[in-house]
Structures are given as structure tokens and as C-alpha cells.
Amino acid sequence: MDFEFSKDQQLIKKSVRDFLEKECPSDRVRELEADEKGYDPIMWKKMAGLGWMGISFPEQYNGTDGDFIDLMVVMEEIGRKLLPSPFFATVASCSLPILEYGNDEQKGKFLPAIADGNTIWSLAVHEESSGNNFSEINLRASLKGEEYILSGCKLFVQYAHVADWLLVAARTGGGDEDGLTVFIMDAKSPGLSMNLIPTTAHDRQYEVIFEDVKVPEENVLGGVGKGRKIIDFIYQRGAVLKSAEMLGGVEAALEITSDYAKKRVQFGRVIASFQAIHHKLAELFLDVEGLCYIVYKAAWKVSTGSPSDLLISTAKTKANEIYQRTCIQCMLLHGAIGVTREQDIGLYHLRTRAWESSMGNSNLHREKVAVELEHHQPQMLSEQ
């Protein structure tokens, strides 16, 4: 296992960071949070022009033929700048399962449009009763002729208001996990409506209501009754990428606070010189470095074709905990001013709860860790 980025990955990292430093300063983040769309369409097209959307696609789908690590690098840098955009919803949640499970016609139709920045996607899985238990998904899909009719409701569908397409998990069989199917749905279909769910993170979550919405039979992804496998795939890859985004956020939060401590003067000295302050910064640094190791290793395992559920759930659990704890401690180190919207550290703290729930909360991933540990055989460091 080599954690050294390749020259190409180093260039990707620098390119994304330089672009976001210019295009997405903290004041722009605040503006986009207040904007009705919640993202900048012009910036979106620029991102596509730089190859971000298709970074893990083969060239035949207008991609750059990169790998999962390349996409992880982009997500980490996006997290550093808190970029408000449907990138995660489109690329992490929807394009990867289409690339993995779509047939040739579906890949040829949808992936180039994603890579070129011409379409926005969103994932519709959660319902009021389901939580993280996918066996309780109740949105019903009934086959009538050559179309499926969907009726029900989905919650927390991010950027649904600007989405062109949705990936929707619905029930086509019995009341268990084997009765689920994933559909590709036109987001402007008749009978589909949505309502904004207000959140402190301003991350554009929507309730989406399906009233006899028709979906062509050819828009089934991966086969009827194969939905649970696809959902697991989405949450597995998505948990790693969300952890990388959170890693970027926690790195930025610590850097902001460290810089503040080096400039803030109290009792005639910069506060970073006080033992209590620099010990706390050192503790936070150790947390961040530990999280970096776990996230990178989980992503590396995915890129080699041998994803580890133990590592993935460990990474997401630690990202949830460390991001929140670090932001709280960083606000305390800022003093009372740390809780104001004028200070950038508060922007990062607002994301902690929203991102904790994305791709599985800590309770879900702790349960997965417990299950995986029953069969886990520890390796010597030299064997890894």
C-alpha cells in the first residue's frame, strides 16, 4: 500500500484546489447558500470542462479514464472549500452505479451527458419509515404493460429541484430487501412533485412525492429485484467519498484555527504560544492525521477492486465523529466570535450534522463494524 499520490493525482489535487480558491471563496459559499438554486451553473460547466464529472469514466463516455482515487482527491478538495453543488449527488451517488450496473444503451445515453456537465442527478432512497433499513422501503412500482407506475414518497433527495434525472429505489416484489428495484426516472415526469426540507446546512434537501409516475421498463437499472445490491454499492462507494469530503473539511477547519491562533493576541502574546492552545491543536492534528490514514486506505482498497466494508464503515464513523469534534473545538479556540456567521469556522460546523447522516450515520456504520469484526482476521503491518 503506497499513500504517495502519483504525479497525475498531485496535478489533479493542485488543479482542483487552485480552481476552488479562485471560484469558491467563503463569501461565495454564503451567497450560494442563499441562492434559490443552491449552486452556480456557470461554475458547474467550468468544473465539467476541467474533467471533474467524468474523472472516473472511460474515454468512450467522455471521461478521463481515471480511477476511484482520482475521484476521492476531487472530493477531498471540494470538502476543503465547502463547494455548494450537486457534484456528490450526481457523480458519487448516481454516475458510479450507472457505470457499474447500466447496460450499454444506458451508459451511452447518460454518462457522456454527466461528464459534459449537461445533466444533474439525484438519489431517492430514504423514506419516513425506512431510515437506514432498506427492507422498509415502501414506494411501490407496479408493472402495467411496458411501464412501471410509481406511487409513494421519498425524503432527503438532494438538489431534486434542479435535477434532470433521479435514481429511485422502489418496491417491485415482497416486503424484504430482495423485492427492491432501482429505476432511472426523468425528474420532470408528470405526477412528480417536491417540497423543500429546511436544514441548517442549506444543503437543498427535498421531499419528493410520486403520484402514479410512469417509468419505461427499459429504465430499470441492473435488473428487476436487484436493487439491494445496487443500493449497497452506492452506499459503499458513497461512504468513502463522503468521508473524503469530510476529511477535506476538517483539514480546512484545523488550518483556519491554527492560522487564527498564530495571529490572535491576548495578554500581549499570540494565543498559539499558550501551552493549553498548542496542546489542543496538536491533539486535533493527530485526529485529522488518523482520519486521513483510514480514508485513504479505504479508498485504496476500493480502487484495487477489493473494497473492505470494515475499513469503509470505520472511515465513515470516524469522519462523523472527528469532523464534529474538531469543529466544536476550533470554534472554542476562536472564542465567542467563533459562533458568528462572519467567521468561516462556523460554515464548517454547519455541515457536520448534515454530512454525518449522508451515506449512513454512525449507528449504521458501527453495526457494520461489529458484524465485520466477527470474521476479521488482523494482518501484520508487513502484510498490508
- Is the predicted pLDDT of residue 131 greater than 70, yes or no? no
Query: Could you give the maximum distance between any two Cα atoms of the chain, in Å?
Result: 79
pLDDT given at position 381: 46
More confident residue, 383 or 172: 172
Query: Each residue of 356-374: pLDDT tens digit?
Result: 999 989 998 999 999 888 8
pLDDT given at position 338: 81
pLDDT given at position 209: 97
pLDDT given at position 336: 79
- Is the predicted pLDDT of residue 14 greater than 90, yes or no? yes
> Stretch 170-191: mean pLDDT, rounded?
90
C-alpha span between 79 and 54 (Å, rounded): 18
pLDDT given at position 343: 86
Quickly state the pLDDT bin for 378 (edges 50, 70, 90). Answer: low
Q: For the chain, percent helix, then strand, then coil, each to nearest 5? A: 55, 15, 30
The closest of 29, 138, 143 to 82, measured between CA atoms, is 29
pLDDT given at position 337: 83
pLDDT given at position 129: 73
- Is the predicted pLDDT of residue 383 greater than 60, yes or no? no
C-alpha span between 195 and 211 (Å, rounded): 14
pTM score, whole prediction: 0.94
- Is the predicted pLDDT of residue 145 greater than 80, yes or no? yes
49-58, 79-88, 281-290, 364-373: least confident range: 364-373
Please provide the DSSP assignment of 297-325 as one string. Answer: HHHHHHHTT---HHHHHHHHHHHHHHHHH
Q: Which is it for the CA torsion 86, 92, 93, 95, positive or negative? A: positive
- Is the predicted pLDDT of residue 271 greater than 90, yes or no? no
157-166, 308-317, 330-339: least confident range: 330-339
Domains and CATH numbers, the chain: 7-119 (1.10.540.10), 122-224 (2.40.110.10), 229-383 (1.20.140.10)
C-alpha span between 363 and 361 (Å, rounded): 6
- Is the predicted pLDDT of residue 207 greater than 90, yes or no? yes
- Is the predicted pLDDT of residue 104 greater than 60, yes or no? yes
6-10, 114-118, 149-153, 270-274: least confident range: 270-274
> Stretch 111-139: mean pLDDT, rounded?
90
Coil vs helix vs strand at 128: coil
